[in-house]
Chains A and B, each alone.
Chain A
Amino acid sequence: MTSTGPVDTDVAIIGAGPAGLAAAIALREAGVAGVTVLEREAVAGGIPRHCHHTGYGIRDLHRFMSGPRYAQRYVARATAAGARVLTSTMVTGWTADGGMWLTSPTGRRELHASAVLLATGARERPRTARMVPGDRGAGVFTTGQLQQSVYLFGQPVGTRALVVGAEHVSYSAVMTLRHAGVDVVGMVTDRPHHQSYAAFALATRVALRVPLHTDTRVVEVQGRPRVTGVVVEDIRTGHRRTIACDTVVFTGDWIPDHELARARGLVMDPGTLGPAVDADAATEIDGLFAAGNVCHPVETADVAALSGRAAGHAIAGWLADRRRAARRAGVPIEVDESFAWVHPQRASTTADLPRNKIILRPRVFASSAPVRVMQADRCLWEGQVRHLVPTRPASIPTGWLARVDPAGTPVRIESATRGTHQ
């Protein structure tokens, strides 16, 4: 159970990013009266607020818009739908009886809800969490901080930047740096290929003349009080050299903002490092749900929103018939070594998943990879996945969930591919 006593709201949603706001809209549309969204930032909307490139809203809103416009649209739709969105309101922990502690300028108080959705999102691992040694000079960013510096505050960034990473967000960082007038001297990835779209990579390399150094790892950051260079190593040869720059942006390498999930004692998935959930976004605590990038770090904003929307539907169903929901089986879903993680981690039969997909995160690069879903000796599904790329989503359909034996052994997703291991 979440709160055991009287409640202040039917559903509390922690985080007003795309997932949380989409869940709020879905809950209101399903007729749930009290939907409260708690946002610690002063402005709701989540990460898209400071992503000024276009490409938002494709899968969920069937439109093409910039991050800030996308964020504003979700906030407007959630408030229009009747959700209460409280900004500058941080959930700092759990009360002994399953409620939440809130701090906001209007006070320190408890909030109790029948159901709680964790939609706390993810962040990039900063330099220190990657244990990159060296000097602690200024000029070290994550993409998140970089984008806020440039787009929200117009702060100076630097003159020559190295981008660490070559996934989607890394190319976004390149665009932000270019916008801020910063020369991008290169991108480095410890993998053998970039992990973004070929068009992005080609345009960046050719049109913007930003070299991409693959199979290259960052050894050390040099310079104080300001960064002067980064030592990199070619993993294949061991050769080291210094790339001169005054700015380093550590991009991607996402980790869920899972503090509240862990503080609540939830089972954490060792792959995603987020809470383990079933196909209805339910954690193992009845009434406590999780959706969005805290569960699958990270998908694009539209997929996070669809994840939230699906969770909203599931929570509405749970509120309508809690006993039925409590009976549901939850056979674990596991992956073989081709994959870093799968979302969801437990099978349930309602299968109202974002885009009706099971999300996988490959460890390997491969094309036309055979994938099958096994429960003991029984093959539940077999097919091909066109591309496997580390850090990028791969997905398989969900129809097989109906064939899972709820009393059976864990389901295992396997790929016999001989991909290029990173």
Chain B
Amino acid sequence: MTFAVPPATDAEPYDVAVIGAGVVGCAVARELSIRGARTVLIEARSDIGDATSKANTAILHTGFDAKPGTLESRLVARGYTLLSAYAARAGIPVEVPGALLIAWDQEQLDELPVLAARAEANGYRRTRQIGADELYAREPHLGPGALGALEVPDEGIICPWTTSLAFATEAVRHGAALRLESPVTGVSIGDDVTVVETATGPVATRLVVNAAGLGSDLVHAMVGLEGFTITPRRGELIVFDKLARTMVNHVLLPVPTKMGKGVLVAPTVYGNIMLGPTSENLDDRTATGSSEDGLAFLRSHGRRIMPDLLAEEATTIYAGLRAASEHDDYQISVHPQLRYACAGGIRSTGLTSSLAIAEYLAESMTEALGLSLKPMVHPDADPQPPRMPNIGEATLRPYADAARVAADPAYGEIVCFCERTTLGEIRDALHSDVPPRTVEGLRRRTRATMGRCQGFFCGAKIRQLLTAPDSSTMAPTARNNEGTK
């Protein structure tokens, strides 16, 4: 691998330490390192994007339903534009099926024009109300009883895993240091240098950015500030088999309530159908287990929205925690005396807004913290982002790419049958700038083992490839027994 910039080291203080390598932290580290700041990205877990950023609904939001006038509204709209362009250049899987916000009773039907007006207030002008006939024509598997819908044609779905991965990879290629498995235990702010204490040793830095997600209020307290508290909001999801994919044509949204956007049915870029999330406030910041009640709740909603879907096999169930605060908006602030910036309380829209948050923070830090940054050139002229492995179904996967298989037989050796992950992709992930350390990390980079058999066929082999990548198992079995008689 080649670095555009030599990697930063701990020898002298960093310009910026970013705490938290979720999608927001990775986006901030990317922005700062491209713009010339010596950056370190500190992460408690063993991989980037390993908490809220990995387990969400993966919707690319237009922001049509945000609270008008909030920073969130502004940054989601801006982030949608930035991330759409970036994803196209980095090869992050994106599809834009559009959303249908479905009214199931008269009260909800009356709410649709209100939501359309709210979209206008957020600067989104392409909603359109459709009647039940058009709705059922476009979604023939929808359960009975829907009265109409609000169409939001630009709502998209995105791969959350390669989004974080692209940002982190680009940051590393621009010299950012990535420090995994380093939970932050304290922050000491000196006259010129701040020391971030971590489980793997202290990190000296001039500025600190808090992008600690579920722990963002705790880091905020470490620098002596108050103002918000994170209440983890658990969202459980059921992912249905790819054989169900043709049943759903749009992101199917309910009319939102106070507790959130409600239970949706949406395709994923990997070709599955997702049902969820639940929305449940918890005290435990690590409670990512699914629950009996949660699954029962989802199934009862699913039976209403799309009864046929429930007849298909579930491929996986999972739960993620949104970093919700008591406030209606993101908690983004810059504190010159403390040489500290905070991007906390970023809820489910953080994936969409990540690049806009990074852009906004970089500007704020230049103005308020005296951080000297090179200007970001026009997005289309920025350095070419790293090319992400194509793990989306909308474009040609390596196994189906005749030219690629001909050039390198490893792309013809399918290891994970359900997901059609090839040996070549696994090899590439293991040798990438931000390699996985666990089977789960490998899964997020290649889809290996995330399919319907959950490792019945390839689980043991994948484990072997991860722990002994240089063994003979990495060589494609190019013999293929062609000559056998």
Contact = CB atoms under 8 A, between A and B. Distances in A.
Interface of A: 40-42, 44, 79, 82, 84-90, 92, 101, 103-109, 123-129, 131, 133-136, 141-142, 144-145, 148-149, 152-153, 155, 219-220, 222, 224, 255, 259, 262
A9 B72 CA distance: 61
Contacts of A108: 399-402, 405-406, 412
Given A88-B480, A104-B480, A124-B456, A136 B313 contact: no
B315 A86 contact: no
Interface of B: 238, 243, 286, 288-292, 294-295, 313-318, 399-402, 405-406, 409-410, 412-414, 417, 420, 452-457, 459-461, 463-464, 476-478, 480-482, 484-485
A92 B452 CA distance: 15
A153 B405 contact: no
A73 to B, nearest CB: 16
B116 to A, nearest CB: 37
Contacts of A148: 459-461
Contacts of A88: 412-414, 476-477, 480
B288 A136 contact: yes
Given A90-B399, A126-B455, A153-B460, 14 more contacts: A40-B417, A85-B481, A85-B484, A90-B417, A92-B399, A92-B400, A106-B412, A107-B406, A108-B412, A127-B454, A129-B454, A133-B289, A136-B288, A259-B243
Nearest to B414: A90
A135 B288 contact: yes
A147 to B, nearest CB: 8
Nearest to B455: A145
Among B238, B412, B452, max chain A CB count under 10 A is at B412
Contacts of A92: 399-400, 414, 420
Given A105-B409, A105-B478, A149 B315 contact: no
24 contacts: A84-B484, A85-B481, A86-B482, A89-B480, A90-B414, A92-B399, A92-B400, A103-B399, A103-B405, A106-B478, A108-B399, A108-B405, A108-B406, A126-B454, A128-B314, A131-B314, A133-B292, A136-B288, A141-B459, A142-B454, A144-B453, A148-B460, A153-B460, A222-B289
A104 B402 CA distance: 10
A153 B467 CA distance: 11
A146 B403 CA distance: 36
A105 to B, nearest CB: 4
A136 B320 CA distance: 11
A123 B452 CA distance: 10
A17 to B, nearest CB: 12
A145 B459 contact: yes
A161 to B, nearest CB: 16
Contacts of B457: 41, 123, 144
A129 B314 contact: yes
B402 A155 contact: no
A40 B400 CA distance: 15
A53 to B, nearest CB: 18
B314 A145 contact: no
Contacts of A44: 481
Nearest to A270: B311
Chain A binding surface SS class: mixed
A105 B407 CA distance: 10
Contacts of A125: 313
Contacts of B290: 133-134
Contacts of B410: 105
Which of B286, B295, B456 is packed against the most chain A CB atoms within 10 Å?
B456
Most buried by A among B410, B457, B461: B457
Contacts of A155: 460, 463-464
A149 B401 contact: no
B251 to A, nearest CB: 23
**Among A103, A105, A125: residue with most chain B CB under 10 A:** A105
Nearest to A223: B289
Given A88-B477, A131-B314, A259-B243, A145 B460 contact: yes
Contact of B412 (A79, A85, A104, A133): A104
Contact of B455 (A101, A103, A142, A224): A142
Contacts of A134: 289-291
Nearest to B317: A128
Contacts of A103: 399-400, 405, 412, 414, 420
A105 B420 CA distance: 13
Contacts of B317: 128, 131, 133
A107 B422 CA distance: 13
A315 B405 CA distance: 33
A133 B238 CA distance: 11
Tell me which of B290, B291, B316 has the highest count of chain A C-beta atoms within 10 A of its own C-beta.
B290
